[in-house]
Chain A
Amino acid sequence: MPKASKGVLVQCDPSIKAIICKIDAERNDFIIEDLDDETLVIKESKFADLQVRLDQELKHTIREPEESDSE
């Protein structure tokens, strides 16, 4: 009988996936199944946490262009 596991399917760029794997490597408590370069399954309860961690991580790596305030 096939098995079903509950989770959140995440589809993203390979670069983002690399960061997710890096976050997961600390405690191995996010990823349920690593499917391919652009797809993985995350624990449902940890998804919001992952989003926050990812945003933090990206803030360090990506510089936003200054917003022009001219009207």
Chain B
Amino acid sequence: MSSSASQALDYLEQLPGTVHRKLYAQPSTALAVFRRMLPHTAKAIVMGMLFMTKPFAATDLDAWIQPDARAEREQALSVLESLHILGTETAPAGGAPAVGAPARSYRLAPVFAASLRQALMGSGSHRSFGVPCTGPPPPEEHEDVDIVDVAFLDEFARGQWEAILYYMVGSTGVYGTGGTGERVSSGTRTLLQLGNFVELRGGGRAMITQAGFTFLLQEVNAQVWSLLIVYLENAPSLKMDSVEVLSFLFMLGSLDLGTAYSTVNLTPTQRQMLDDLSDFGIVYRPSPTSARFYPTRLATTLTSDAGALRSGVLDGGGISSGLASGQTDDAAAGNQGYIIVETNYRIYAYTSSSLQIAVLDLFCRLTTRFPNLVAGKLTKESVQRAIALGITADQIISYLTTHAHPQMRKNVPVLPPTVVDQIRLWQIDRDRMRHTPGFLMKDFATRVEFEETCGYAESLGVLVWKDVEKRMFFVSRIEQIQAYLKNRARKAA
């Protein structure tokens, strides 16, 4: 699963079951959650159970999964349960109950199962996959735009999204440009502040924050989700229903690029959203009152793995990487790679894009700028300044690697190893302690209890540290451990 999916998944998991049930009423949402949010093992379980009419005994489910894949099974089941896709029943499921405790059995949430069946088999007359507009567009809407084709939509999405990124990078104020965000709407600027990506300093100038840098160096798909999650979290304060917002986003993910869709069947909330989404470049509307809208590539890759793969190749780009075609020269150069790194830490970047130069300036000391080239050097000071702002050495290395010039790509490895090692050393030099937020577990009554709980934490992949003598361990997440301990206590009682 890519980082973008896991972000969205984290948000979904913390929603209450009532919200989930409302969401799953839309076939498009059920399908999007199924194909984008679930680990493969979970998908296999859902597919296997989709057409079962009776609850499915837990022991039978265990028989499906190989014993050595216990960690995957636990993870799949916990995701399914936290999304309320899978429910457990303790009543005997027809078969003879096991000795002592009643047999546990699983059942798919009926709403989810019904919607997913509808989505997969195309039944029902729901309109949750959007209503395409047929017939030619009214002439008055296309005075300044000739044809809305895929290239045009890509160009529009790239322009809008880069303006947002440039507003954030430009806010470092190195070039004296940007930071005022003429091209970025006030709603988007407020959203960036709410998401803690920028802070307003004296004179109304925006300053990028640590979270903002992390945002900037993510792949485009992950960036879009980060921003949308902030949008979702703030939807209630704008008097928008977050269920409607989410189902609209999931619907967008299932639309076709280059096709016009009608706003007729949208709710008032969703129409209000169209304005904001066109500010982000996620949808294009010929005019603010138009009865049609076009999803852009940013929208159609929201819930598909294909988009994530394509941009994943150019990971850490922060620039147009999700938008494969229809770019200007600047961005096309970005996709091909434009950075040369020498063993003496000098950097030459063949670019004239202000966004790319501003990103480089975050961690390089740039000295010279020519019409198509900037030159500079990676120094201890420049790298540590970046690290102080919250950028990691790995982010810098991955940015340099993914944007390496084609000439550099002939080398194996792409970057000179001395430079890569030195960047890491500069980080270690500064980061004198590793830190992990989480929970310390202690006061285990018996050694067995400690070892079993600790082993469970390890199989979930949340164990960070343990000390057998002291009977303590540290975990990064606690929800499942708590559930496990409660189950244990109940069994013991």
Contact = CB atoms under 8 A, between A and B. Distances in A.
B438 interface: yes
Given A2-B453, A2-B485, A4-B478, A11 B440 contact: no
B452 to A, nearest CB: 11
A8 B435 contact: yes
| Count class of interface residues, chain A | 20 to 34
A9 interface: yes
Interface string A1-22: 1111111111111001000100
B443 A2 contact: yes
B474 interface: yes
Interface string B364-401: 00010000000001011100000000000000000000
A16 to B, nearest CB: 5
B465 to A, nearest CB: 6
Contact of A41 (B379, B449, B474): B474
B470 A35 contact: yes
A8 B485 contact: no
A11 B467 contact: no
B439 A6 contact: yes
19 contacts: A1-B485, A1-B489, A2-B441, A2-B444, A2-B450, A4-B441, A5-B440, A7-B440, A8-B435, A8-B437, A33-B440, A35-B467, A35-B470, A41-B440, A47-B435, A47-B437, A54-B432, A58-B432, A71-B377
B438 A9 contact: yes
A67 interface: yes
A32 B467 CA distance: 16
A33 B367 CA distance: 48
A67 B441 contact: no
A28 B129 CA distance: 58
Nearest to B430: A55
A30 B439 CA distance: 16
Contact of B435 (A2, A10, A36): A10
Nearest to B475: A4
A46 to B, nearest CB: 12
A14 to B, nearest CB: 12
Nearest to B388: A55
Contacts of A16: 432-433
B177 interface: no
Contact of A2 (B381, B434, B442): B442
A13 B429 CA distance: 12
A1 B482 CA distance: 10
Contacts of B438: 6-9
Interface in A38-71: 39, 41-42, 44, 47, 54, 58, 67, 71
B464 interface: yes
B66 interface: no
A36 B453 CA distance: 21
A36 B432 contact: no
Nearest to B437: A8
A-B interface, 5 closest residue pairs, ranked by CB to CB distance from nearest:
A12-B433, A4-B439, A3-B443, A11-B434, A9-B436
Contacts of B467: 35-36
A63 to B, nearest CB: 13
Contact of A67 (B381, B450, B472): B381
Nearest to A71: B367
Contacts of A44: 437
Nearest to A41: B440
Nearest to B444: A2
Contacts of A67: 379-381
Nearest to B450: A2
A20 B435 CA distance: 13
A12 B379 CA distance: 25
Contacts of B379: 67
B360 to A, nearest CB: 17
Interface string B354-368: 000000000000010
A42 B432 CA distance: 15
Contacts of A5: 439-440, 442
A39 to B, nearest CB: 6
Contacts of A9: 435-438, 440, 464-465, 474
Nearest to A13: B432
A11 B428 CA distance: 13
A16 B434 CA distance: 11
A10 B474 CA distance: 11
A42 B482 CA distance: 21
Contacts of A33: 440, 442, 472
Contacts of B381: 67
A41 B436 CA distance: 9
Contact of B439 (A1, A7, A39, A71): A7
A44 B453 CA distance: 24
A2 B488 CA distance: 11
Contacts of B472: 33, 35
B434 A12 contact: yes
Contacts of B436: 8-9, 11
A66 B169 CA distance: 29
A42 B436 CA distance: 10
Contacts of A1: 443, 485, 489
